[in-house]
Every structure is written in C-alpha cells, then in structure tokens.
Amino acid sequence: MPFVDESHPLWEVKNLKRALHAAGVALWSWSVETDAFAMDEQAFELWGLPQKSEVTFEDLSSRIHPADRDRVRAAFTATRALIGAYEIDFRILLDQEIRWVSARGLGNDEGLHKGQMSGVFLDVTGRKQAEEGHELLAGEMSHRVKNLLAIAAGLTNLTSRSTTSVEEMAKELTERLTALGRAHDLVRPLPGHQGRAALLGDLIAVLLAPYDDSGAFSGRIRVAVPRMGIGEVSATTLALVIHELATNSLKYGALSVGSGMLDISGTSLDDEVSMVWTERGGPSVAPPDGQGYGSKLLNRSVSGQLGGSIKTDWSEEGVIVTVTMNAQRLSR
C-alpha cells in the first residue's frame, strides 16, 4: 500500500479544491488597476460564461440584472474603503432564469495582494427564494388577520339588523362566527387527502353561509354554478378567492347594506370554467387608485393555481367580477 503524505502542499490544494467545489464556493480576483477579473472554473459555470484567462467587469455586468447593475459597480468600488469583511448580494440573468449571487471579500485593502483583491462568489438563490417566500407569507397572514377583524365587525352589524333582542343577537352572531370558522378552514390546505374535495356549488355555499341573513333579508345570496367536483388543491385556492371577494363586499359592497343582493353564476365550456360574481343594491363603488394586497393575492391565486384570469367591472349598479379557470386545474 503506497504511503500518502497528507502534509504535502499538492495534497492540501487538491482537497481544498474539492471542499470548495462541494460547498459551491467560486473564487475570483480583481485587479484594482486594470479592472480585470480572474475566476476559477466554478465561477464561470455560476455566471454562465465561457472560460478564458480574464474577464472584465463589463463581461460580468452584461449578466447582472439591470436593476442591480449600478449598485453592484458602486459597491465594488466602495469595498476598498470598507473595514473588514463585506458581502454584496445581487441578481444575475441566465436566459430566462434569475440567480442570486453573493460576492464576499475583505475591504480597506486588507485583502489586497500585489494589486489584486480576492474573494468568493456564492449561489444564494435558494436562500433568497426562501426569504421572499417568508415575506410573502407574513404579508398574507397580516392581510388575513385584518380581513377577519373587518369581517367580525361587519357580521356584528349584519346580525344587528335581523335580530330584536340581545339574546337573539348573541346566539345568531355566535352561529355566524362558528360558520365563518368552518369556512375559514377551507382557506388553508389540509394534508393527507386524496381525490375531490367537494362540489363547486357546495363549497361556495359553505363559504358564503356566514354572510347570508337568516331573518328579514334571508336568501339574498344566490348560487347557481355547474355541478362539478373540485380537487383539494384547487378547493383551497378557490376558497381563498371567494373569501377575499366576500370580505370586500362586506366592507364596501352589496353585503355591507341590508338591501344588497349577491348572485354567483357559472358556466362550463370545454376546458374552461367561468364564475361570475354580481353585486346589486349596494353602495356605489369605484375602482381603487392602485392595486392593493388583496387584489394582488386574487390575481396571483387565479393565474398561478387555477390557470385562469380575473376581470372586474366597476359598473354603477354594482361590481361584477368574472373569474375564468382551467377545468383540469380545478380537478386537482
């Protein structure tokens, strides 16, 4: 068996290269005088560039996201004035793919050797995507909590119009809030289920039950949609859409007043299912100045999960929302 001298410099360099490659670390050096970059094989692969002895900042700049380009150039120039370690995160474009890269090194000429500054590139795309996901989730949770508080206030006002005593109001409001709790369960995914979750009409009826008066205004919500089953994933998404539309109606639209009426109709044609949400008898409404979080949430849910689109008609008689969905997506 041959003897391996683990203290030999060549053995150490090979193992160091293996460790860097396994960790996804790409090496670079930058000449502060000529502005030239030298990179190892892993760096060229990360940037999607053909290998050559030197690359300029302009070569790299062509791959940097336009929104980050000036910031990255200014940050690299400023690194010589920084004391200690620095880290610059930015996006690069590879065809249609966006990657997040982190450039790290030492500033204040501490890392300068023979006119060269050295550092590493790391692919941090996974971390950035996770951070964006957490921010999106936090925003969505905040939006839902605010909506639930508004719904509770709206249901209290709604119940007061159809009851004549405190006891009756307390009983009916409790029933409405309990129904709202059951409906809210449909707005979150339930793991471990297979097959179809419910009929489309039944799902809409359950979600809207808390908003329908049981007294003088009973029956002001009408649901007439095709009889069809929908899957677990699409049921969660569709429940979120209905929940958002009902919240807006309770705060601003037909459900905010006793005379308001709500009609949900639908059609199924070939591979497309349409649902039309029509409000009548409520206060006049106007398009918002900008797109709020709720509108973004609706558009993202319908286009992303249901493979469709959403269109809003701000008519004088009342808002009309048309949601088109892919039939195959609804069955999932």
Positive or negative, the Cα torsion across 107, 110, 111, 117? positive
Instruction: Give the Cα separation of 220 and 130 in Å (integer).
Output: 44
Instruction: Locate the domains of the chain by residue range.
Output: 9-123, 134-330
What integer pLDDT is reported at residue 322 of this predicted model?
95
| CATH architecture of residue range(s) 9-123 | 2-Layer Sandwich (3.30)
Give the tens place of pLDDT for each residue, 135-173: 777 776 776 677 667 767 777 776 776 678 888 888 777
What integer pLDDT is reported at residue 146 of this predicted model?
73
The one-letter code for the residue type at 136 is L
Give the orientation angle of helix 293-304 with respect to helix 125-161, to 10 degrees.
110
Kindly report which listed range (10-24, 49-63, 130-144, 283-297) carries the lowest average pLDDT score: 10-24
Question: Is the pTM value of this prediction over 0.85?
Answer: no
Task: Identify the DSSP state of 64.
Answer: B
Distance between first and last Cα of the chain: 60
Q: Please name the residue that has the structure tokens 């957490």.
A: 134
Kindly report which listed range (1-15, 78-92, 215-229, 316-330) carries the lowest average pLDDT score: 1-15
| Torsion angles phi and psi, residue 285, rounded to 5 | -125, 155
pLDDT at 34 over 80: no
Q: What is the DSSP string of 62-94?
A: TTB-HHHHHHHHHHHHHGGGS-SEEEEEEEEEE
pLDDT at 252 over 50: yes
Instruction: Give the Cα separation of 153 and 248 in Å (integer).
Output: 13
pLDDT at 42 over 90: no
* Stretch 263-276: mean pLDDT: 92
In terms of pLDDT, which residue wins out, 254 or 297? 254
Instruction: Give the Cα separation of 164 and 192 in Å (integer).
Output: 45
CATH number for the segment(s) 134-330: 3.30.565.10
